[in-house]
Copies of this chain bind each other. A is one copy, B any other.
Amino acid sequence: MSAINRLRELEREIVHLHDAAAVLGWDQQTYMPKGAAAGRAEQLATLSTLAHQKLTSDEFRSTLEEAEKESATLDPDSDDAALVRVTRRDFDKATKVPEELVTEESRLTALAHEVWVEARKKNDFGLFLPYLEKIVDLSLRKADHLGYEDHPYDALLDQFEPGAKTAEVKALFQSLREPLVGLLREIQATGIESSGIMTRSYPIEKQKEVTNDVVQRIGFDFETGRQDIAPHPFCTSFGNKDVRLTTRFDEHYLPGSLYASMHEAGHGMYEQGSPDEYEGTFLRGGASLGIHESQSRFWENQVGRSRAFTNYYLPRLKEFFPESLADVDEEAFYRAANEVKASLIRVEADEVTYPLHIMLRFEIETAMVERKVNLKELPELWNSKMEEYLGITPPSDADGVLQDVHWSGGMIGYFPTYLLGTLAAAQIWNAMQSELGGLEARIEAGEFQPILGWLRERVHRYGRKYLPNELLKRATGSELDSTHMMNYLRAKYSEIYGLSVTV
């Protein structure tokens, strides 16, 4: 057997261990009884330890090295060569950080998570501060092990967005700040208030039907997936034939299930589009968190919150909610789905303010990593940036610096992927529009198959084969470019709020 095929065999075992852990994780969020938490944590620790041991074993290393020799003569664009490259990247990531540090991190973050929950509940940043300090220290040590050329944050970012560079992200985000803040101020100046349509009564049983209906219509396959309820919506998969979405319901907030389920279905269809021949190997899945987010944001915003989709879906929605939507026409619903309002919480933010939430976090994270901020002063820094970008000041740290789970989990470097994905979604829309054309008409007619087909062909079918930047270039013809999103937002919201299109 060739070394590359032996590598595939070794990977299959590791992938299955991760799949099993993912099933246990899904169950934990959806159905697991409360009392099982401690036992589940131990089961998960065993599975990830085993997977890590297999990946970092001498057998794996030597097989990989032989496979690298074999692949030297292959077409670099072949799947085999890509498999070896991707495996090398994963292997290095797993082996560069010493096992003691991995253990230290998992202990620290398990504890830090508990403390963060408590601190948020009590609105007491001081409680979380010593853990955050340790997490920043540990992240810097981890960055040293992972290695970087320019900036320690590069190493952290690379965990979630392979190949991305801090300097590039910084430039990209900085170019957005002024136009975005400007757009928001103009919108705020109109004084237009919420219509209150989305916060009417939408019975939860009906919302459940709607979320299943809508994700099926856009192309999520229930033969190889399902949707359940979880406190926080997420998507996970145990192979391209088993993809799980979750959503949640609030009787008085329809977008919280409608658009959230389209968002998760965007992730889900990406996973369902990973090719069969990549199953059981490290090529399976999505290129990065950013590319994943490009898919979810595309279906949520470019499709879901479009006028075309509203025209298509509102008549159907009225069948589910005849009372609450009786007096609502397409135009009113479209505007309700796209109300812009500076708010405290990232996960509730609209398209215009969402990027500002991310930029704020990115700036704070890089400042933390550069040791340019005394962590004690983080709440003040957070609040002053909120005031600067969004024009509001959190009344409490619970709704400010303590709102996100990421830092307590050691996930410094994760936030930028949300905005990178949002940028990519707009860029993908434009590329698809110039190739396929008439996207709005297709959406209005409920013809989602060509749209999904384009994504399958240009993005999904490559799994993890290409680095995100390369994949985006192949899919859209150019590198990530923030003007697509900015133009999209400017055009869309100028029309909605009656602003001039150019400033």
Contacts and interface: CB of A to CB of B under 8 A. Distances in A.
Interface string A363-387: 0000000000000000000000000
A226 B34 CA distance: 10
A280 interface: yes
A43 B16 contact: yes
Nearest to A243: B33
A31 B484 CA distance: 40
A33 B42 CA distance: 27
A36 to B, nearest CB: 4
B13 A224 contact: no
A33 B224 contact: yes
A241 B36 contact: yes
A46 B16 contact: yes
Interface in A1-59: 12-13, 16-17, 19-21, 23-24, 27, 31-36, 38-40, 42-43, 46-47, 50
A338 to B, nearest CB: 33
A228 interface: yes
Contact of A36 (B20, B47, B238): B238
A33 B279 contact: no
Contact of A279 (B13, B39, B226, B239): B39
Contacts of A225: 33
Contacts of A12: 42, 46
- Copies of this protein chain in the complex: 2
Given A47-B20, A50-B13, A39 B238 contact: yes
A75 interface: no
A290 B223 CA distance: 38
Contact of A47 (B16, B222, B224, B279): B16
Interface string A78-106: 00000000000000000000000000000
A242 interface: yes
Contacts of A13: 46, 50
Contacts of A17: 46-47, 50
Contacts of A47: 16-17, 20
A27 B35 contact: no
A242 B33 contact: yes
Interface of A: 12-13, 16-17, 19-21, 23-24, 27, 31-36, 38-40, 42-43, 46-47, 50, 221-226, 228, 238-239, 241-242, 279-280
15 contacts: A12-B42, A16-B43, A17-B47, A17-B50, A20-B24, A20-B46, A27-B27, A31-B31, A33-B223, A35-B224, A35-B241, A39-B239, A40-B238, A42-B280, A50-B50
Given A32-B242, A39-B279, A43-B238, 5 more contacts: A16-B47, A20-B21, A20-B47, A23-B23, A33-B241
